[in-house]
Amino acid sequence: MKKTIAALAAAVLLATTVSPSAFASSEEPEQPAAPKTGVTINVYNWGEYISNGVDDTLDINKEFTRRTGIDVNYTTFDTNESLYSKLANGGANYDIIIPSDYMISKLIDEKMIEKLDFSNIPNFQYIDEQFRNPKYDPKNEYSVPYTWGVVGIFYNKKYVKEPVDSWKILWDKKYAGKILMFDNPRDSFGIAQKILGYSYNSMNVEEWENAAKLLKEQKPLVQAYVMDQIFDKMSSGDAWLAPYYAGDAATLVEDNPDIGFAIPTKEGTNFFVDAVCIPTGAQHKKEAEAYINFLCDPEIAAANVDYIGYSTPESAAKELLPEETVNNPIFYPSKEILNKSETFVNLPEDTNLLLDTLWAEVKMGGPGQTATLVAVLLGFLLLYIGIVVYKKMKAKRELQ
């Protein structure tokens, strides 16, 4: 009896371990599953930002567990800032985090991420030269690039007939009420800064104020400041022009032939990188480095970006991708465009504060409008108190 149970258990184990996703099994049919190590690494990544096994894609985390025997507890965040607050508050021991460029430089400044041991990450060799030693991590000690992309403009070809090659089109009165803008300060200010010919990482107060002035001029033309609603508003024809991240272009452009995507070549654009890091005090640093190494494996990287839609920093992975993706200037823009583009770097505290107040002014309409709003609210309050007092007095009179 005991023997049959053992045999059954073994059979079940075999069945579950030998059936990973189709992609992996076709590559390495005989590789057996590694024995469980009992270690679980905590991974914190953007939402919808890893190939997850849906629709015959490769389930990256499952494949990692199968190859190394290390379990993955995978969780997701929505902005760099919420990642930062999670780490800063404590109580969450992550082993792997994937922030964007400017957040990485902030985390380095505040000693919240650890130097990597690159001898455990031999696959770093596949990372292309142009992605090494980036501005946010000048000596390339803390991070390994995961994906990258640029910001461009989505437009509806039915209504926007002229060539889209400059950010200035977002200020064109012809398209009033049909323009969308980013609902985050750095991306929105970035567009104004490029029109004015400033750097994204300027520390000059006057430059930031000029950019804010430009955004205020644009405000009457803007339909809404949004993030992911861009997809719905663009595909339904509600809006005609919207700046967004190129990596998300694929689905939108493929599904609706009217929608085009262009990178403003006149002024240049924002070039962003999301990279893998290990937070200070991670409990499973070695296993985390094994995970980073696994992500850099060209096959894995190719399967991953194929699902995500962003671009890979590895030429070896590019070779495994469909040709139409690699030749698509949306995903892999020319060298000239890249040379003109700029990355975000962490801003000093006072510049960040300035940016926040200016952004609030742009969206809310400045201190003048806030004052009227307060006045109106006070008016209502007074009216309410007046009514209450009047009613009380009336009740008293009736009693008498």
Residues near another protein, by CB under 8 A: 42, 44, 46-49, 52-55, 59, 61-62, 73-79, 89-94, 227-228, 231-233, 235-236, 248, 251-252, 254-256, 281
User: What is the rounded radius of gyration, in angstroms, for the C-alpha atoms of the chain?
Assistant: 26
| Cβ(83)–Cβ(44) below 8 Å | yes
| Cβ(70)–Cβ(39) below 8 Å | yes
With CA atoms as reference, report the closest residue to 83 among 63, 67, 62, 106. Answer: 106
**Strand runs (DSSP E) across 188-292, as ranges?**
222-226, 241-245, 259-262, 271-276
Amino acid making up residue 66: R
Q: Shortest gap between Cβ of 238 and another protein (angstroms)?
A: 8
For another protein, give the closer residue by CB, 45 or 140.
45
Q: Shortest gap between Cβ of 283 and another protein (angstroms)?
A: 8
For another protein, give the closer residue by CB, 62 or 213.
62
Q: Shortest gap between Cβ of 309 and another protein (angstroms)?
A: 9
For another protein, give the closer residue by CB, 65 or 341.
65
Q: Shortest gap between Cβ of 158 and another protein (angstroms)?
A: 15
Query: Could you give the CA distance from residue 20 to residue 228 in angstroms, rounded to a whole number?
Result: 32
Q: Shortest gap between Cβ of 383 and another protein (angstroms)?
A: 26
| Cβ(222)–Cβ(363) below 8 Å | no
For another protein, give the closer residue by CB, 59 or 297.
59
| Cβ(200)–Cβ(193) below 8 Å | yes
Q: Shortest gap between Cβ of 61 and another protein (angstroms)?
A: 8
For another protein, give the closer residue by CB, 169 or 330.
330
- Spell out a b/e string for 71-106, using b for 16 or more CB atoms within 10 Å of the CB, else e: bbebeebeebeebbebbeeeeeebbbbbbbbbbbbb
For another protein, give the closer residue by CB, 83 or 316.
83
